[in-house]
Structure 1
Amino acid sequence: MAIQTRWNVEHPCGHQTEHDLSTRPADKRAGFARWLGTKDCTACWKAARDGDSESREAWLTGKRAEEQATATEWAVKFSMPPLEGPERALAWGERSRHQLVTAAYEALVAEGAWDESDWATLEEAVRGIRRAGWWIDQRDAAGTDLPELVDAASETDRGNENPHL
């Protein structure tokens, strides 16, 4: 006798849905159907997710504003130059730069073997990278990778100190 592939599941939202579990291994179907019974049906789940978008959007806006204020304060404190690029990328680039450089300081100096003079050299090189897009591209990098990333940055990433050239 073949193991069933279609399961009628009663969801906590009150809906009953027939699920085709034929793509799952036979020995995993019953457990997955039981798990589905603890979740709202797809339509109710999507409605709840979409209906909560205003509060999620408000939270995200507040979080971004907080991160931006921290990044701006940090940039002033450590004499970081303004970034260059499209207007819509500048704030994201500033936040990305702040997060990566502070993670690098934590990993290399606070927890690592670097001293302040090693850090000062890297920090000066960091100041030279002015393209916001470069910082956005590095947003997922580990702090320990920053020295190598800075060395690999091209001249177009470094910006131009003389705007008349």
Structure 2
Amino acid sequence: MDVNICTVRNWEEGLSPIRSDDLLMWFTVCKQSPWRWLQRIWMPSAFSDTDTPNWTDEQVDKALSDYIAQMPSLYKRRLLYILCGAHGSDWAGQIDLLCANAHTSMQSRVRVCQAVIQNYRIDTVTGDDPCPESIKPDFDRLQICLQAGEAAVLAGDGEYNAREK
């Protein structure tokens, strides 16, 4: 990262601020995704305790509302498509699928991602996309995440940082 130990100590002790590019590089070097940590900075009341089984319904409602309010519009549209789209899948089942996938190993998640990418490509070309006019995934971002996930598996890591190149 091209910083000395004194600089890092100053960051850790709050004596000097860390520049945003240094912060993102820190996460990259540590092979960690910055998002869950940055959420705690942006919305500490919503994300200071991420053990949601201990949350009240009101805390869950507020955290989700705050999080969605911060999402870019394009991702809100994708979320609505998952929840309400005419794709033929039950919305609760879609969420349970994502939850189950998040409870698998990084290697398993990479394999699922590979299969989804392949199926998406084939269905798009063959005209089998059930909603060809609906909002599409960010395929470039999906590829970046797949590559970062593959690198994490090969390095023996259980988490990745998918910084755009």
Same fold (TM over 0.5): no
TM-score normalised by length of structure 2: 0.25
Which of these two proteins has the greater Rg computed from alpha carbons? 1
Q: Which has the higher helix share?
A: 2
TM-score normalised by length of structure 1: 0.25
Q: Which has the higher strand share?
A: 1
